[in-house]
């Protein structure tokens, strides 16, 4: 299956222990037809990658925009500080700082909505096609894209 092969191909690229766990769990969920869970884990994987990239090279720009757009939030100095921000707020800050392109922001914002739908109790059916689309977009257009 193309999605499984895409995820398997990330194994050599993903070196962060947390991201490796997210990748392994995404694969387990997808292979076992737990599509809601696969979407949630794929989001965790891609979002973690974005956070790591900001920490590695764009933290000053991120904090400058954070101070302008959300002055009541605290400065981000380490990975765990991102946990104090809503994911949507973090994406808005990164877009405003020019860290995320318009297309990357649009993809992440849309996939955050799909993740939220999958993660919360609802009668929405999450099909294999939906899971594949979310996973492919997050991997190909976010994780493998440089720059964001």
- Mean pLDDT of successive 10-residue stretches along the chain, which has 148 residues: 93 94 98 98 98 98 98 97 98 98 98 97 95 98 95
pLDDT at position 1 is 73
Alpha helices in 74-101 (DSSP H): 87-96
pLDDT at position 139 is 98
Element (H, E) at 133: helix 128-138
SS3 content of the chain, % helix, strand, coil (to 5): 75, 0, 25
Rounded to whole angstroms, the Cα distance separating 13 from 29 reads: 20
Residue 95 CB coordination number (10 Å):
20
pLDDT at position 31 is 96
pLDDT at position 102 is 97
């Amino acid at each position: 299956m193309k999605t499984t092969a895409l995820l398997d191909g990330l194994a050599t690229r993903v070196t962060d222990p947390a991201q490796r766990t997210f990748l392994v769990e995404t694969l387990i969920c997808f292979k076992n037809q737990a599509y809601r869970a696969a979407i949630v884990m794929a989001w965790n994987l891609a979002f973690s990658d974005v956070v790591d990239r900001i920490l590695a090279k764009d933290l000053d720009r991120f904090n400058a925009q954070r101070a302008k757009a959300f002055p009541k939030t605290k400065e981000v100095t380490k990975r765990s500080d991102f946990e104090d921000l809503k994911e949507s707020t973090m994406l808005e800050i990164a877009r405003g700082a020019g860290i995320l392109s318009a297309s990357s922001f649009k993809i992440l914002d849309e996939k955050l909505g799909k993740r939220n739908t999958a993660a919360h109790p609802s009668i929405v059916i999450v099909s294999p096609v939906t899971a594949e689309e979310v996973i492919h977009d997050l991997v190909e257009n976010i994780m493998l894209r440089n720059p964001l």
